[in-house]
Amino acid sequence: MSNSQANRRRFTRVSFSPPCMISADGVEQPATCIDFGLRGARVRLSNAIALKGKSVRFLVPAAEEDHAFDADTVWQSGSEVGLEFTGVPFDSFVYARNVVLQSSGHSEAVGRDLGVDGAIDPSPKSGSK
């Protein structure tokens, strides 16, 4: 990612590199997450296929459950793609929030991303009670 892309970014991203999957047009492809935020991710595909402008499903396996994010591919450069999340189930959103908070330590920035004034509680919470 270039400096101009980083400067244009409106939301907090953190380095986060678990294996993941991208599902597009009914085909799943292994990928690696490069960075991750509440509103999107940068992902490296195992095979460079044309995804720019397509809607995809971004899947992140986790110990307790897999997390799915519906996303639009907003840019592509070779095998790297930029995803903007368009639909996130609550449990996946809580997972994303916890990853960003724990990796960045910037609860004020995450609060800003959420449209909240001030810092938010950094303690991990699950989506169920």
Contacts of residue 71, defined as CB under 8 A and 6 or more positions apart, other chains included, come to 40, 41, 55, 56, 57, 58, 83, 84, 85, 86
Q: What is the CATH number of the domain that holds 32?
A: 2.40.10.220
The whole domain housing 38 covers 3-87
Whole-model pTM: value is 0.73
Within-domain flag for 38: yes
**Rounded to an integer, what distance in angstroms lies between the CA atom of residue 24 and that of residue 70?**
10
pLDDT by residue for the chain (129 residues), tens only, comes to: 444 444 445 556 667 777 899 999 888 999 998 988 888 899 999 887 888 889 999 998 876 788 899 999 999 999 999 999 998 888 888 887 777 777 666 555 555 555 554 444 545 554 443
CA–CA separation, 32 and 42 (whole Å): 9
- The answer to whether residue 114 sits within a structural domain is no
12 within some domain? yes
Residue 127 lies in a domain: no
Number of structural domains, the chain? 1
